[in-house]
Amino acid sequence: MATEPSSGGFHRDVRADFPILAADLDGRPPVYLDNAATTQKPRQVLDAMHAYYCQDNSNVGRSVHTLSMRATDRYEQARERVARFVNASGGNEIVFTKGTTESVNLVAEGFGRELLRAGDEVLISGLEHHSNLLPWRRLCERTGAVLKVAAVDEHGELSAAAFSAQLSDRTRIVAVAHVSNVQGTVTPVGEVIEAAHARGAVVVVDGAQAVAHRAVDVQALDADFYCFSAHKMYGPLGTGVLYGKAGHLARMEALLMGGGMVRRASYDGPLTLAPPPHLMESGTPNIAGAVGLAAAMDYLDDLGVERVAAHDAELTARAAAGLRAQDGVTVFGAQRPEGGIVSFAVDGIHPYDVGNHLNNAGIATRTGVHCAMPFVDSLGVVGTVRASFGVYNTAEEADLLVETVKTAEKGFWSLEHPNDRSLAG
């Protein structure tokens, strides 16, 4: 396989930007096709975080000294950068969290808890990640609301019509992934939002798998809330975003009480709290994480989000076509590669064995149920192998994946024990 840097149609040598691609894994560089789990980080992001710690580090909003003011500026500038990236109307609509999971939980508990009454309905889709399923399930159990699930069709596609058919006058919240993390399905989120709004429901979009592969415009979508993670878009671990329309954020309760969210506090007298987004960010935030996320957004904008989308889709389509052409290989989902993900199973071979075989060839994929057990169960398999593509991947890597799958053999894991899914997530 050619391992020389490949431009992938970008104006710069993208592979040279990612130090980990030069790592030595048993004598060869990694073929990293696990980008939907987390992407690698470019030097530009690492440098921005390093510079923050070397030149600006302090705590935010706490002091009048120069470093504290610099740290505060960097943090708030990052918030404005995020707002521009997703076209929020301003930084006041951007809450920093530690990831999509926290963002969804924040909406469920901080917004949904007050909103829902017994008999109300929360509608999700049949392809959700546990992070956009379990918070709603628990919220329904606690409030007496009903959790409804809009089924996907036999191709794993979510039709806007099928979704709308599940809406009712009791639907208060709709929560849906923009892109499925299992098979890359792009959901008709704009139509879902329109239909939900027509019934008076609020829509929470899980954008974890969308932001690295497509331009996201929260105002054009008219999303009420939009959640995503920095680490899946070339940014650092431990930082995420909750976008919320200002009017919704203003109705929300903080989940954590503490420093950084207070205007006036006492033991038993008046308590005046800061407005959002600081209301939801009590405690010392991950300042370097926000700085790194802003740098990742600069990086993606520099490459061109449309170009990134085309590159990822091209490789995904190439891998999917090669795998589909193989006897005994099932590729899940319709042939729509925009999500950057191809999920497949090999007849008679457990996905962990396929994953081990790929790993022995230096190829990193994700295997199992991808934190979406009900959806994978609906596919009728114990799990899948998921290859997911990013800006540094090459056509040679997609081809290597396809060729290597051809030589996979049955190994340690038994398909007779489908409940043995220790890496289920």
11 dihedral zone (left: phi>0; alpha: psi -120 to 50; beta): alpha
Distance CA 142, CA 383 (A): 31
CB of 238 to ligand PLP, least distance (A): 9
CB of 105 to ligand PLP, least distance (A): 9
Phi first, then psi: what are they for 146, rounded to 5°?
-110, 130
Only segment of 148-156, 188-196, 201-209, 259-267 that touches ligand PLP (CB under 6 A) = 201-209
Work out whether 39 is an interface residue with ligand PLP (CB under 6 A).
no
Options 21, 31, 116, 208; binder of ligand PLP; rule CB under 6 A = 208
Distance CA 413, CA 96 (A): 41
Whether 152 contacts 185, CB under 8 Å? yes
Only segment of 115-123, 125-133, 189-197, 257-265 that touches ligand PLP (CB under 6 A) = 125-133
Work out whether 286 is an interface residue with ligand PLP (CB under 6 A).
no
**Which of 101/393 has CB closer to ligand PLP?**
101
First to last CA, the chain: 33
Compute how many other C-beta atoms are within 10 angstroms of the C-beta atom of residue 317.
17
Options 45, 177, 279, 391; binder of ligand PLP; rule CB under 6 A = 177
Whether 184 contacts 209, CB under 8 Å? yes
Residue 371 a catalytic site member = yes
**Which of 110/322 has CB closer to ligand PLP?**
110
Distance CA 114, CA 79 (A): 27
Cis peptide before 277 (omega within 30 of 0): yes
Whether 177 contacts 209, CB under 8 Å? yes
Opening angle at CA 101, ends 142 and 72, nearest 5: 120
- Cα dihedral sign for 408, 37, 86, 137? positive
CB of 421 to ligand PLP, least distance (A): 16
CB of 132 to ligand PLP, least distance (A): 6
CB of 167 to ligand PLP, least distance (A): 22
Whether 182 contacts 176, CB under 8 Å? no
Work out whether 216 is an interface residue with ligand PLP (CB under 6 A).
no
CB of 181 to ligand PLP, least distance (A): 3
SS3 of residue 87 by DSSP: coil
179 DSSP 8-state letter: B
**Which of 387/402 has CB closer to ligand PLP?**
387
Whether 227 contacts 205, CB under 8 Å? yes
Residue 23: name the closest of 407, 364, 326 by CA.
Answer: 364
**Which of 227/400 has CB closer to ligand PLP?**
227
- Cross-strand bridge partners of residue 34: 388
Judged by CB under 6 A, the chain residues 95 through 124 that form the site for ligand PLP are 99-101
Options 40, 164, 187, 229; binder of ligand PLP; rule CB under 6 A = 229
Mark 360-399 with x for binding to ligand PLP (rule: CB under 6 A) and - for no binding: -----------x----------------------------
Mark 52-91 with x for binding to ligand PLP (rule: CB under 6 A) and - for no binding: ----------------------------------------
- Cross-strand bridge partners of residue 28: 25
Only segment of 16-24, 126-134, 163-171, 345-353 that touches ligand PLP (CB under 6 A) = 126-134
Q: Tokens 């993670």 label which residue? A: 229
333 DSSP 8-state letter: S
Work out whether 303 is an interface residue with ligand PLP (CB under 6 A).
no
Whether 178 contacts 209, CB under 8 Å? yes
Work out whether 289 is an interface residue with ligand PLP (CB under 6 A).
no
CB of 128 to ligand PLP, least distance (A): 7
Number of residues located near ligand PLP, criterion CB under 6 A: 13
Work out whether 92 is an interface residue with ligand PLP (CB under 6 A).
no
Distance CA 84, CA 257 (A): 29
Distance CA 32, CA 390 (A): 9
**Which of 79/231 has CB closer to ligand PLP?**
231
Options 35, 105, 181, 183; binder of ligand PLP; rule CB under 6 A = 181
Active site members: 371
Q: Which residues contact ligand PLP (rule: CB under 6 A)?
A: 99-101, 129, 131-132, 177, 181, 206, 208-209, 229, 371
